[in-house]
Amino acid sequence: MKSVAIVATRAITSLGNLDETWSGLMEGRSALACLKSDGLFGRWPVGSIESLEGEQGTSKRLYALIKLLLSDSPPVPDDSTLVLAITKGAPDELLAGSTRPRPDQPFDIANYIARELDLKGSASTISAACASGTIAIIQGIHRIISGDAQTVAVIGIDILSRFVLAGFASLMALSPQPCRPFDHSRDGLTLGEGAGIMLLCATEEAHKRNWPILALINGWGAACDALHITAPDRKASGLIASIKKATDNCRRQVGAINAHGTGTRHNDAMEIYAFTTLWGKNNPPFHSVKGAIGHCLGAAGVIEAILSVESLKKGLIPPSIGLITPESGVGHVTGQKPLILTHPSILSCNSGFGGINASILINDLRCF
């Protein structure tokens, strides 16, 4: 496979900007808490960005998050292509009704962001459930390798909403306490909101424009097991297939894994099964950030890939906040302390409803 360069990143989570998020993770802090409001948000903990204006699930909040992200965005060349990962837009306005001709939904947002960035390239939207962010990165890679684009801005964004919270509650998938990824006593996920931007280009283009190369993506894969609309395949067939594609059938060395790690019984068991099936007892160290910032849905894959770049810089993966007692027989998972990368490469993977799975292998320049 060819390599694609990551030349700039930014992120916003319930812990703050990228630097604040990284610091919070390394210090073992969690931003998950119940909101002081009636109804669902007073019952279930969430990862909320306190500085955002607007009610959860509204276009006002969505545009506030976009504005916050773009205010700190790296310079994006006007000839760039935009690939947006988002799952739901502003769904609560659909429930409450709106005087506007149409509430802001996923298919509206990419064009809006492209106008805000004054981009002349194409703008497209990926809505592939919880794997949206990683799929969007893979789409960006394909645009560059095919020659369709010189530079691609990949953005992931999603806000909290009553609609999605109620949906996960109806599936009995939410935890009444902050989620505990990979913990033996885990009992559900916690939702969050956030956004991230990653600027990609060919390595030759980065050299041409004198851009610093933060990391390289030289492996990627996506697969769908299509077993169930909400439940993962217990034998992890889709995730295993995506990891094999990203790692050249595990011939490429993986120094650590930034796992999906939602904290639900079935997702985490599926991931553990995949990692131990592929690598046995010597599986790479793995972790999840969702015990600190929640599950950011369409933004998750982009944010987690950005945090993987930070891990490569520091040579460490953060603790899996919320994890106290790992499942028996599973080694090399972070608990309350960071773990050292065994090699300067990180596999970032996500799984979503409908059996969608995606993985990318991010490498430090020392690998080449």
3-state secondary structure 91-116: CHHHHHCCCCCCCCCHHHHHHHHHHH
The answer to whether the beta carbons of residues 219 and 246 sit under 8 Å apart is yes
Q: What does the block give as tokens for 176?
A: 């009444």
Q: What does the block give as tokens for 185?
A: 């006593």
| 356-363/345-352 β-pairing | antiparallel
Q: Is 209 helix (H, G, I), strand (E, B) or coil?
A: coil
- Residue of 224, 260, 296, 332 marked catalytic: 260
- Residue of 130, 179, 201, 367 marked catalytic: 130
Q: Report the C-alpha gap between 86 and 300 in whole angstroms.
A: 10
Burial class (CB in 10 A: 0-12, 13-18, 19+), 115: exposed
| 4-13/356-363 β-pairing | unpaired
- Residue of 224, 295, 296, 367 marked catalytic: 295
Phi-psi region of 238 (alpha: psi -120 to 50; beta: other; left: phi over 0): alpha
For 54, residues 6+ apart whose C-beta sits below 8 A from its C-beta are 60, 61, 62, 63, 64
Residue with tokens 């559900």: 188
The answer to whether the beta carbons of residues 313 and 224 sit under 8 Å apart is no
Catalytic annotation on 260? yes
The answer to whether the beta carbons of residues 73 and 82 sit under 8 Å apart is no
CA torsion 89-290-82-59 (nearest 10°) is: 20
Q: Would you name the residues annotated as active-site residues?
A: 130, 260, 295
